A = this chain, B = another copy of it.
Amino acid sequence: MTSPVRGDLFDPECPTRRLLDRIGTKWTSMVVKVLAEAAPHEVRFAELRRRIPGVSQKMLSVTLHSLVRDGLAVRRVEPTVPPRVHYRLTELGLSLEVPLAALRIWAEEHMARIDHANAISDAGSAAGG
């Protein structure tokens, strides 16, 4: 039988790589976070836009549709005029929030050290040059 993906992390189809391709897109992690905080309630498109400063309506739309396509979120349209569109995470999307939250914690605790290391590196190359 074919073995599970356990040992194939360096396969071109490496699941980790493909996951990072998704959550690495600029707005995905923020959208997931907002939806996760609101769960199990839905969030309207306009509300998401307000909660994520800087996101354009295009990229928010693209990001949300990617999440839906990946089965991480669901979309519900009220066929009114004007339309109202709501999003919420699926169970799968909520499960992704767990490791994503761990990553956020790490970032909050350690990014300052990365910044510091960069500053040292800059100063060192400036002095050395």
Residues of A within 8 A of B (CB): 4-6, 9-10, 12, 14-24, 26, 29-30, 33, 51-54, 68-72, 92, 95-96, 98-100, 102-108, 110-111, 113-114, 116-118, 120-121
Contact = CB atoms under 8 A, between A and B. Distances in A.
Contact of A113 (B14, B22, B54, B92): B92
Contact of A116 (B16, B68, B71): B71
A24 to B, nearest CB: 3
A107 B54 contact: no
A111 B19 contact: yes
A71 B20 contact: no
Nearest to A121: B69
A114 B91 CA distance: 12
Contact of A5 (B22, B108, B113, B114): B108
A20 B10 contact: no
A6 B106 CA distance: 11
B23 A9 contact: no
Contact of A92 (B72, B100, B110): B110
Contact of A102 (B18, B22, B99): B99
Contact of A18 (B5, B70, B107, B121): B107
